[in-house]
Amino acid sequence: MSRRHARPLLPLLRRHLHRSATVHRSPAPAPPDGIPSSSSAPPDPAAARWPSSWSPAAPPLHSFAASHLREAVSPIAAAILALPGVDPDPLPALVEHNFPTLLAVSPLASLELLSLLRPNPQLGLAVFSSRRTLSPPATLPEFVLAISLAGRARDPAAAARLFAEASTAYCPDQALYNALMSSYMHSGLADRCIEAFHTLERDPRCGPPNADSYNILIALFGRSLLVDHMEATLLSLDASGHPRTIGTYNAIIAGYLTAWMWEKMESVFDEMVSGHVAPDKTTYLLMLRGYAHAGMIYKMELAYERARQHVGQVDMVHIRAMICAYCKFKHVDRIQKIEELLQKLGPDDYRPWLAVLLIRAYAQEGLVERMEQWIAEALERNTIVTTVQVMRSIITSYFQCDAVDKLAHFIRQAEEAGWKLCRSLYHCKMVMYGKQHRLPEMHGVLDEMEFFRFDRTKKTFWIMYKAYVNSGRMAEANTILCMMGKHGFGFPRGGTGADVEEASDGIGGGDVSGVRDSPVLGVDSSEVAAPYLRQCGRSQRQRRWRLVEGEVMGMALTWAAGKTALTAPNQIGSRGACMDGGRLSYFFR
């Protein structure tokens, strides 16, 4: 606010302040748009410096004067919030906008200004320090508000220092203790908060703890997941004779929400409604967030409608909670509802965890284009996926669309970005290359697996075997079977895919009884292996069966295929002979 706009308001404020002081002779409650105070400051020796139209014992401002006071202070708060730098000095801005003159007219201007600076508590504390250099002196409600700002700034030392100064200058009241307790609660200092509560109980200068004091303790225990202590404090509140307020119910609901106790959360809400305590916007938003975390989609949508009726516009925190619920729990038309909620988010509302959930949700629904858009967004913002479940959802979506080139491109991006890699990524790419008979590229996947230190498993060999069988290249397929036996993975009873899958679970586990006759091999491998097993000690049979199985495989494949590549079992060494021009020598390692 410039000087030109500030001056016309000052005569108006003086006129209405004088009218309030002369007309209202009896104490009156604070107006709804005023700032109430539960205490009044004692007479100040420097009261002669104050304007004659206002005193600490004067009645509150008229609503018309209070609204004009807020209108005069709002530009000052906007100018202070716009100051550049990390720790700016607000005093020049205060002087420039005639704040000392406005403060001399009404000391309530300081309360209005500090209230508007809640979004930036550090700056609010700096304004309060500058305000203390002006006249008249800071009142007790101003100290209360400054202590609450220190709590929001996570500065318990400043809160304790302000509390000590206020206790020295004024007689402390419950509001001052509550502000200190709230500061300790926001800073996570549970012991100091409880100690301040006990000090309030012992302090003879002010009354016993009020409902707000108990509410702060309830909120403290709820944040700490101390549900038993929270419920015990609620019983103490009932025993003290203070009625439960809306703050009490909100603190209890928030505690049960933090502890994920959904049934008790709902029961407290029903008790509040039946007890003729009207829920406020905080209550509806708490219930909305609780239903979202619990996955109760229908109740969440009802709470969202109630919150919109009472709040008008739901904040982004709860919008993200609803999107998270739709992503985690399948629901009818959830993609359409997700899209509607995403339109409410701005460019600054991006969250890495939300992007990962959206990627998985679109992958589960088979929406590849939307999934790729969020993958590109996550890569651009350096978001790293660390869960295997999300990666498997992505490759499943590509597999269902038979988009092997897109899958290969995604895997390269994931490798470069440091995303969580798993063997399933490469197995899926091998399967899709095999289905399209792109065998050289399928072999290249093995190099990628070795580079990222993924060992070849039984499934790796099965994928290669099926790819060669489907391509009609039985010689290479038989060599794959040989290498499976060499590595101790067993060999199938039949050559078809169904027989291979069924045999892959029961063969190769070290048990001789697990070996069956193989139509592919054309030999009973148990009979071939029997002479060798008789030469081994009884204690060595299971230990050496895997090697024997590989040797039997080699002999049987040589006899069945009539090839000269594997002329004897002992040729299956660190690098065996190759078939088909050395293509399969890669496996003999």
Contacts of 369 (CB under 8 A, 6+ apart): none
Q: How far apart are CA 154 and CA 144, in angstroms?
A: 15
The answer as to whether 354 is a domain residue is yes
What pLDDT does residue 576 have?
36
What pLDDT does residue 491 have?
66
What pLDDT does residue 561 have?
45
Percent helix, strand, coil in the chain (nearest 5)?
65, 0, 35
Same domain, 338 and 295: yes
Same domain, 427 and 510: no
Same domain, 338 and 379: no
Give residue 65's pLDDT band: very low, low, confident or very high (50, 70, 90): low
* Last-in-domain residue among 455, 485, 515: 455
338, 341, 346, 350 alpha-carbon torsion, rounded to 10°: -40
Tokens of 336: 């359409």
Same domain, 510 and 531: yes
Residue 226 pLDDT > 80: yes
Tell me what the mean pLDDT of segment 411-423 comes to.
95
Tell me what the mean pLDDT of segment 409-418 comes to.
96
Segment among 28-42, 421-435, 556-570 with least mean pLDDT: 28-42
Residue 339 pLDDT > 60: yes
Residue 413 pLDDT > 50: yes
Tens digit of each residue's pLDDT (9 = 90 or more) over 6-33: 444 444 444 444 444 333 333 333 333 3
The answer as to whether 91 is a domain residue is no
The answer as to whether 440 is a domain residue is yes
User: What mean pLDDT is reported for the chain?
Assistant: 78
Give residue 351's pLDDT band: very low, low, confident or very high (50, 70, 90): very high
Give residue 411's pLDDT band: very low, low, confident or very high (50, 70, 90): very high
Residue 50 pLDDT > 50: no
Residue 150 pLDDT > 90: yes
Tell me what the mean pLDDT of segment 439-444 comes to.
93
Same domain, 520 and 585: yes
Segment among 61-70, 118-127, 275-284, 351-360 with least mean pLDDT: 61-70
CB neighbourhood size of 286 (10 A): 25
What pLDDT does residue 286 have?
96
What pLDDT does residue 567 have?
35
Helices (H), 275-367: 281-294, 297-311, 316-328, 334-342, 352-364
What pLDDT does residue 196 have?
96
Same domain, 495 and 509: yes
Same domain, 519 and 566: yes
Give residue 35's pLDDT band: very low, low, confident or very high (50, 70, 90): very low
Residue 459 — φ and ψ, nearest 5°?
-65, -35
The answer as to whether 163 is a domain residue is no
Tell me what the mean pLDDT of segment 436-453 comes to.
93
Same domain, 577 and 529: yes
Question: What is the domain range of residue 572?
Answer: 476-589
What pLDDT does residue 496 have?
42
The answer as to whether 296 is a domain residue is yes
* Last-in-domain residue among 426, 455, 484: 455
Segment among 28-32, 236-240, 403-407 with least mean pLDDT: 28-32
* Last-in-domain residue among 312, 332, 347: 347
The answer as to whether 68 is a domain residue is no
The answer as to whether 3 is a domain residue is no
Tokens of 228: 């038993």
What pLDDT does residue 343 have?
94
Same domain, 422 and 485: no
Tell me what the mean pLDDT of segment 327-353 comes to.
93
Same domain, 493 and 572: yes
Tell me what the mean pLDDT of segment 492-520 comes to.
38
Confirm if 347 and 381 have CB atoms less than 8 A apart. Answer: no
Same domain, 321 and 355: no
Segment among 29-33, 97-101, 153-157, 489-493 with least mean pLDDT: 29-33
Give residue 86's pLDDT band: very low, low, confident or very high (50, 70, 90): confident
Q: How far apart are CA 11 and CA 439, in angstroms?
A: 89
Same domain, 571 and 552: yes
Counting the structural domains of the chain, the total is: 3
The answer as to whether 27 is a domain residue is no
The DSSP-derived string for 250-267 is HHHHHHHHHTT-HHHHHH
Tens digit of each residue's pLDDT (9 = 90 or more) over 184-214: 999 999 999 999 999 999 998 888 999 999 9
Which residues, in sequence order, are bridge partners of residue 518? 523
The angle, 0 to 180 degrees and rounded to 10, between the axes of the packed helices 334-342 and 316-328 is 160
Segment among 40-54, 152-166, 223-237, 549-563 with least mean pLDDT: 40-54
